[in-house]
Chain A
Amino acid sequence: MTRIGVVTFPGSLDDADALRAVRIAGAEPVALWHGDADLHSVDAVILPGGFSYGDYLRAGAIARFAPVMEQIVDAANGGMPVLGICNGFQVLCEVHLLPGALTRNSHLHFRCRPQALQLTNAGTAWTNAYDEGQRIVIPVKNIDGCYVGDPQTLDALEAEGRVVARYVDGSPNGSQRDIAAVTNEAGNVVGMMPHPEHAVEALTGASTDGLGVFTSVLAHLSTGAPT
Protein backbone atom coordinates (compact mmCIF):
# COMPACT_ATOMS: atom_id res chain seq x y z
CA MET A 1 0.00 0.00 0.00
CA THR A 2 1.24 3.49 -0.80
CA ARG A 3 2.68 5.17 2.27
CA ILE A 4 2.15 8.90 2.69
CA GLY A 5 3.92 10.70 5.53
CA VAL A 6 2.59 13.72 7.41
CA VAL A 7 5.12 15.72 9.42
CA THR A 8 4.28 16.96 12.91
CA PHE A 9 6.23 20.03 13.98
CA PRO A 10 5.81 21.63 17.42
CA GLY A 11 2.72 23.74 16.77
CA SER A 12 1.29 21.77 13.84
CA LEU A 13 -2.51 21.69 14.02
CA ASP A 14 -3.80 19.87 10.97
CA ASP A 15 -1.55 16.81 10.98
CA ALA A 16 -4.37 14.56 12.28
CA ASP A 17 -6.78 15.75 9.58
CA ALA A 18 -4.12 15.25 6.90
CA LEU A 19 -3.43 11.70 8.11
CA ARG A 20 -7.17 11.06 8.08
CA ALA A 21 -7.52 12.41 4.53
CA VAL A 22 -4.70 10.12 3.40
CA ARG A 23 -6.53 7.12 4.87
CA ILE A 24 -9.86 8.10 3.31
CA ALA A 25 -8.13 8.43 -0.06
CA GLY A 26 -6.96 4.82 0.25
CA ALA A 27 -3.31 5.13 1.28
CA GLU A 28 -1.45 4.22 4.45
CA PRO A 29 -0.91 7.31 6.63
CA VAL A 30 2.52 7.52 8.29
CA ALA A 31 3.17 9.99 11.09
CA LEU A 32 6.58 11.66 10.72
CA TRP A 33 8.24 13.61 13.51
CA HIS A 34 10.12 16.88 12.97
CA GLY A 35 13.20 15.41 14.66
CA ASP A 36 13.26 12.29 12.46
CA ALA A 37 16.42 11.84 10.44
CA ASP A 38 14.73 9.50 7.98
CA LEU A 39 11.43 9.34 6.13
CA HIS A 40 10.43 5.77 7.09
CA SER A 41 10.12 4.60 3.47
CA VAL A 42 7.20 6.87 2.62
CA ASP A 43 6.28 7.47 -1.02
CA ALA A 44 5.16 11.07 -0.54
CA VAL A 45 5.16 13.72 2.21
CA ILE A 46 2.64 16.29 3.41
CA LEU A 47 3.61 19.31 5.52
CA PRO A 48 0.40 20.22 7.35
CA GLY A 49 -1.16 23.47 8.49
CA GLY A 50 -0.75 25.09 11.87
CA PHE A 51 1.77 27.36 13.54
CA SER A 52 5.08 25.50 13.57
CA TYR A 53 7.38 26.82 16.28
CA GLY A 54 4.69 29.40 17.09
CA ASP A 55 5.31 31.09 13.72
CA TYR A 56 7.99 33.02 15.63
CA LEU A 57 10.21 35.21 13.46
CA ARG A 58 8.23 34.39 10.27
CA ALA A 59 5.76 31.63 9.46
CA GLY A 60 7.78 28.55 8.50
CA ALA A 61 11.18 30.15 9.11
CA ILE A 62 12.28 27.89 11.96
CA ALA A 63 10.57 24.69 10.79
CA ARG A 64 12.79 24.95 7.73
CA PHE A 65 15.75 23.88 9.89
CA ALA A 66 14.06 20.83 11.48
CA PRO A 67 16.10 17.62 10.96
CA VAL A 68 13.34 16.00 8.88
CA MET A 69 13.41 18.88 6.38
CA GLU A 70 16.88 17.96 5.14
CA GLN A 71 15.56 14.55 4.10
CA ILE A 72 12.46 16.08 2.54
CA VAL A 73 14.42 18.59 0.46
CA ASP A 74 16.67 15.82 -0.89
CA ALA A 75 13.66 13.60 -1.65
CA ALA A 76 11.75 16.45 -3.31
CA ASN A 77 14.71 17.26 -5.52
CA GLY A 78 14.74 13.57 -6.48
CA GLY A 79 11.10 13.70 -7.55
CA MET A 80 9.19 12.59 -4.46
CA PRO A 81 5.76 14.25 -4.26
CA VAL A 82 5.67 16.85 -1.48
CA LEU A 83 2.59 18.90 -0.57
CA GLY A 84 2.61 21.88 1.78
CA ILE A 85 -0.76 23.06 3.06
CA CYS A 86 -1.03 26.53 4.65
CA ASN A 87 1.86 26.55 7.18
CA GLY A 88 3.39 23.75 5.08
CA PHE A 89 3.28 26.06 2.04
CA GLN A 90 5.07 28.71 4.11
CA VAL A 91 7.75 26.15 5.06
CA LEU A 92 8.24 25.13 1.40
CA CYS A 93 8.78 28.78 0.44
CA GLU A 94 11.19 29.37 3.35
CA VAL A 95 13.24 26.31 2.36
CA HIS A 96 13.24 27.52 -1.28
CA LEU A 97 11.55 24.47 -2.77
CA LEU A 98 8.94 26.94 -4.02
CA PRO A 99 9.41 30.58 -5.09
CA GLY A 100 7.84 33.61 -3.42
CA ALA A 101 6.76 34.10 0.17
CA LEU A 102 3.61 34.27 2.30
CA THR A 103 3.08 37.49 4.23
CA ARG A 104 0.45 38.97 6.54
CA ASN A 105 -3.03 39.16 5.01
CA SER A 106 -3.37 42.58 3.40
CA HIS A 107 -6.44 43.42 5.52
CA LEU A 108 -4.75 42.13 8.73
CA HIS A 109 -7.67 39.84 9.62
CA PHE A 110 -7.65 36.09 10.12
CA ARG A 111 -9.92 34.54 7.49
CA CYS A 112 -11.72 31.22 8.03
CA ARG A 113 -14.37 30.34 5.45
CA PRO A 114 -15.20 28.09 2.51
CA GLN A 115 -13.28 29.47 -0.46
CA ALA A 116 -13.86 29.03 -4.19
CA LEU A 117 -10.77 28.21 -6.27
CA GLN A 118 -10.09 27.65 -9.92
CA LEU A 119 -7.62 24.86 -10.69
CA THR A 120 -5.26 26.23 -13.31
CA ASN A 121 -2.82 23.31 -13.47
CA ALA A 122 -4.30 19.81 -13.39
CA GLY A 123 -0.98 18.23 -14.34
CA THR A 124 0.84 18.18 -11.00
CA ALA A 125 1.37 15.16 -8.75
CA TRP A 126 -1.29 16.58 -6.41
CA THR A 127 -3.95 17.89 -8.85
CA ASN A 128 -4.24 15.34 -11.67
CA ALA A 129 -7.66 14.11 -10.43
CA TYR A 130 -9.17 17.47 -11.36
CA ASP A 131 -10.03 18.99 -14.71
CA GLU A 132 -8.09 21.99 -15.94
CA GLY A 133 -10.13 25.08 -15.05
CA GLN A 134 -12.32 23.19 -12.57
CA ARG A 135 -13.88 25.23 -9.79
CA ILE A 136 -13.74 23.76 -6.30
CA VAL A 137 -14.68 24.99 -2.83
CA ILE A 138 -12.48 24.12 0.17
CA PRO A 139 -11.81 25.89 3.48
CA VAL A 140 -9.26 28.65 3.85
CA LYS A 141 -8.04 29.71 7.31
CA ASN A 142 -4.99 31.91 7.66
CA ILE A 143 -3.51 35.19 8.80
CA ASP A 144 -0.25 34.93 6.82
CA GLY A 145 -1.66 33.88 3.47
CA CYS A 146 -0.80 36.78 1.19
CA TYR A 147 1.36 35.31 -1.57
CA VAL A 148 4.02 37.71 -2.86
CA GLY A 149 6.88 37.55 -5.32
CA ASP A 150 8.75 39.93 -7.56
CA PRO A 151 7.08 40.60 -10.93
CA GLN A 152 9.64 38.51 -12.85
CA THR A 153 8.99 35.50 -10.61
CA LEU A 154 5.22 35.88 -10.96
CA ASP A 155 5.47 36.32 -14.73
CA ALA A 156 7.63 33.19 -14.97
CA LEU A 157 5.22 31.17 -12.81
CA GLU A 158 2.33 32.16 -15.07
CA ALA A 159 4.27 31.59 -18.30
CA GLU A 160 5.34 28.12 -17.16
CA GLY A 161 1.86 27.15 -15.95
CA ARG A 162 3.10 26.84 -12.38
CA VAL A 163 0.18 28.67 -10.80
CA VAL A 164 -1.84 25.64 -9.64
CA ALA A 165 -4.93 27.43 -8.28
CA ARG A 166 -6.32 30.93 -7.96
CA TYR A 167 -8.89 32.42 -5.62
CA VAL A 168 -12.16 33.26 -7.36
CA ASP A 169 -15.18 35.23 -6.10
CA GLY A 170 -12.90 37.34 -3.92
CA SER A 171 -9.46 36.84 -2.41
CA PRO A 172 -9.32 36.01 1.31
CA ASN A 173 -5.87 37.52 1.87
CA GLY A 174 -4.77 39.91 -0.88
CA SER A 175 -2.43 37.45 -2.62
CA GLN A 176 -0.77 38.86 -5.72
CA ARG A 177 -2.58 37.80 -8.88
CA ASP A 178 -5.01 35.84 -6.66
CA ILE A 179 -2.51 32.99 -6.38
CA ALA A 180 -3.66 30.25 -3.99
CA ALA A 181 -1.26 27.43 -4.97
CA VAL A 182 1.98 27.02 -6.92
CA THR A 183 4.23 24.16 -8.01
CA ASN A 184 7.92 23.65 -8.73
CA GLU A 185 9.30 23.11 -12.24
CA ALA A 186 8.90 19.32 -12.09
CA GLY A 187 5.34 19.46 -10.73
CA ASN A 188 6.05 17.14 -7.77
CA VAL A 189 6.16 19.87 -5.11
CA VAL A 190 2.96 21.85 -4.53
CA GLY A 191 2.16 24.50 -1.93
CA MET A 192 -1.42 25.61 -1.33
CA MET A 193 -2.87 28.02 1.21
CA PRO A 194 -6.42 26.54 1.41
CA HIS A 195 -7.03 23.24 3.21
CA PRO A 196 -8.09 20.24 1.08
CA GLU A 197 -7.71 17.92 4.10
CA HIS A 198 -10.70 19.62 5.74
CA ALA A 199 -12.95 18.89 2.75
CA VAL A 200 -12.88 15.11 2.31
CA GLU A 201 -16.12 14.09 4.04
CA ALA A 202 -19.65 15.42 3.59
CA LEU A 203 -20.26 15.33 7.35
CA THR A 204 -17.69 17.99 8.23
CA GLY A 205 -16.50 19.76 5.11
CA ALA A 206 -17.92 22.53 3.04
CA SER A 207 -17.63 19.96 0.24
CA THR A 208 -15.63 16.85 -0.58
CA ASP A 209 -13.68 18.76 -3.23
CA GLY A 210 -10.42 18.36 -1.33
CA LEU A 211 -10.25 14.58 -1.65
CA GLY A 212 -8.93 14.81 -5.20
CA VAL A 213 -5.65 16.24 -3.92
CA PHE A 214 -4.95 12.99 -2.07
CA THR A 215 -6.24 10.63 -4.77
CA SER A 216 -4.14 12.58 -7.30
CA VAL A 217 -0.89 11.60 -5.63
CA LEU A 218 -1.95 7.93 -5.55
CA ALA A 219 -2.64 8.04 -9.28
CA HIS A 220 0.66 9.84 -9.84
CA LEU A 221 2.62 7.23 -7.88
CA SER A 222 0.83 4.31 -9.57
CA THR A 223 2.36 5.38 -12.89
CA GLY A 224 5.80 4.54 -11.50
CA ALA A 225 6.77 8.12 -10.75
CA PRO A 226 9.77 8.61 -8.42
CA THR A 227 9.17 8.44 -4.67
Chain B
Amino acid sequence: MARVIVDVMLKPEILDPQGEAVTNALPRLGVTGVSSVRIGKRIEIEFGDGSDPQADLDAARQIADKLLANPVIEDFTVRVEELESA
Protein backbone atom coordinates (compact mmCIF):
# COMPACT_ATOMS: atom_id res chain seq x y z
CA MET B 1 0.00 0.00 0.00
CA ALA B 2 1.18 3.52 -0.70
CA ARG B 3 0.05 6.66 1.00
CA VAL B 4 0.35 10.03 -0.68
CA ILE B 5 0.09 13.17 1.43
CA VAL B 6 -1.39 16.29 -0.13
CA ASP B 7 -0.93 19.58 1.73
CA VAL B 8 -3.17 22.44 0.65
CA MET B 9 -2.42 25.98 1.83
CA LEU B 10 -3.98 29.33 1.03
CA LYS B 11 -1.67 31.42 -1.12
CA PRO B 12 0.33 33.90 0.96
CA GLU B 13 -1.58 36.90 -0.38
CA ILE B 14 -5.01 35.43 0.50
CA LEU B 15 -6.46 36.50 3.86
CA ASP B 16 -6.82 33.59 6.32
CA PRO B 17 -9.46 34.66 8.87
CA GLN B 18 -9.30 31.29 10.65
CA GLY B 19 -5.58 31.67 11.17
CA GLU B 20 -6.08 35.23 12.41
CA ALA B 21 -8.72 34.08 14.88
CA VAL B 22 -6.26 31.51 16.26
CA THR B 23 -3.49 34.11 16.42
CA ASN B 24 -5.75 36.43 18.37
CA ALA B 25 -6.68 33.66 20.83
CA LEU B 26 -3.09 32.80 21.74
CA PRO B 27 -2.57 35.54 24.37
CA ARG B 28 -5.45 33.95 26.29
CA LEU B 29 -3.27 30.83 26.57
CA GLY B 30 -0.45 32.95 27.85
CA VAL B 31 1.43 32.50 24.59
CA THR B 32 3.01 35.64 23.24
CA GLY B 33 5.41 36.33 20.42
CA VAL B 34 3.44 34.55 17.67
CA SER B 35 3.19 36.88 14.70
CA SER B 36 1.19 34.71 12.29
CA VAL B 37 -0.81 31.46 12.10
CA ARG B 38 -2.05 30.09 8.78
CA ILE B 39 -4.35 27.11 8.49
CA GLY B 40 -4.38 24.59 5.65
CA LYS B 41 -5.54 21.08 4.94
CA ARG B 42 -3.69 17.77 4.95
CA ILE B 43 -5.23 15.02 2.84
CA GLU B 44 -4.05 11.39 3.00
CA ILE B 45 -4.72 9.31 -0.10
CA GLU B 46 -4.10 5.57 -0.03
CA PHE B 47 -3.42 3.64 -3.21
CA GLY B 48 -3.91 -0.10 -3.66
CA ASP B 49 -0.61 -1.90 -4.05
CA GLY B 50 1.96 0.86 -4.04
CA SER B 51 4.04 -0.86 -6.71
CA ASP B 52 4.43 2.33 -8.72
CA PRO B 53 4.97 5.31 -6.41
CA GLN B 54 5.57 7.65 -9.33
CA ALA B 55 2.19 6.79 -10.87
CA ASP B 56 0.50 7.26 -7.48
CA LEU B 57 2.18 10.62 -7.07
CA ASP B 58 1.04 11.68 -10.54
CA ALA B 59 -2.52 10.59 -9.78
CA ALA B 60 -2.49 12.46 -6.46
CA ARG B 61 -1.21 15.56 -8.19
CA GLN B 62 -4.09 15.35 -10.67
CA ILE B 63 -6.63 14.88 -7.85
CA ALA B 64 -5.18 17.85 -5.99
CA ASP B 65 -5.14 20.10 -9.04
CA LYS B 66 -8.70 19.29 -10.12
CA LEU B 67 -10.49 18.88 -6.80
CA LEU B 68 -8.57 19.22 -3.54
CA ALA B 69 -7.16 22.68 -4.20
CA ASN B 70 -8.59 25.72 -5.95
CA PRO B 71 -5.59 27.11 -7.84
CA VAL B 72 -7.14 30.60 -7.74
CA ILE B 73 -6.58 30.83 -3.98
CA GLU B 74 -4.56 27.79 -2.91
CA ASP B 75 -1.20 26.07 -3.48
CA PHE B 76 -0.57 22.38 -2.87
CA THR B 77 2.31 19.95 -2.46
CA VAL B 78 2.27 16.15 -2.84
CA ARG B 79 4.66 13.58 -1.37
CA VAL B 80 4.76 9.82 -0.89
CA GLU B 81 4.79 8.67 2.70
CA GLU B 82 6.78 5.49 3.25
CA LEU B 83 4.76 2.83 5.09
CA GLU B 84 6.03 -0.36 6.63
CA SER B 85 4.68 -3.28 4.63
CA ALA B 86 2.30 -5.50 6.56
Residues of A within 8 A of B (CB): 57-58, 61-62, 65, 93-94, 99-101, 103-108, 146, 148-150, 174
Contact = CB atoms under 8 A, between A and B. Distances in A.
25 contacts: A57-B67, A57-B68, A61-B67, A61-B70, A65-B67, A93-B72, A94-B70, A99-B72, A100-B72, A101-B70, A101-B72, A101-B73, A104-B17, A105-B17, A106-B15, A107-B17, A108-B17, A108-B18, A108-B21, A146-B15, A148-B14, A148-B72, A148-B73, A150-B13, A174-B17
Nearest to A104: B17
A217 to B, nearest CB: 27
A86 B70 CA distance: 18
A148 B73 CA distance: 8
A175 to B, nearest CB: 11
Nearest to A107: B17
Chain B: interface size category: 10 to 19
Given A94-B70, A146-B15, A148-B15, 13 more contacts: A57-B67, A57-B68, A61-B67, A61-B70, A101-B70, A103-B73, A104-B18, A105-B17, A107-B17, A108-B18, A148-B14, A150-B13, A174-B17
Nearest to A106: B17
Interface in B48-70: 67-68, 70
Interface of B: 13-15, 17-18, 21, 67-68, 70, 72-73
B12 to A, nearest CB: 12
Contacts of A149: 72
Q: What is the predominant secondary structure among interface residues of chain A facing chain B?
A: loop
A57 B68 CA distance: 7
A58 B70 CA distance: 8
Contacts of B17: 104-108, 174
Contacts of A148: 14-15, 72-73
Contacts of B67: 57, 61-62, 65
B62 to A, nearest CB: 13
B68 to A, nearest CB: 7
Contacts of B70: 58, 61, 94, 101
Instruction: Report the 3 A-B pairs with minimum CB-CB distance, sorted nearest first.
Output: A101-B72, A101-B73, A108-B17
A147 to B, nearest CB: 11
Contacts of B21: 108
Contacts of A146: 15
Q: Considering residues B13, B15, B68, which has the most beta carbons from chain A within 10 angstroms of its beta carbon? A: B15
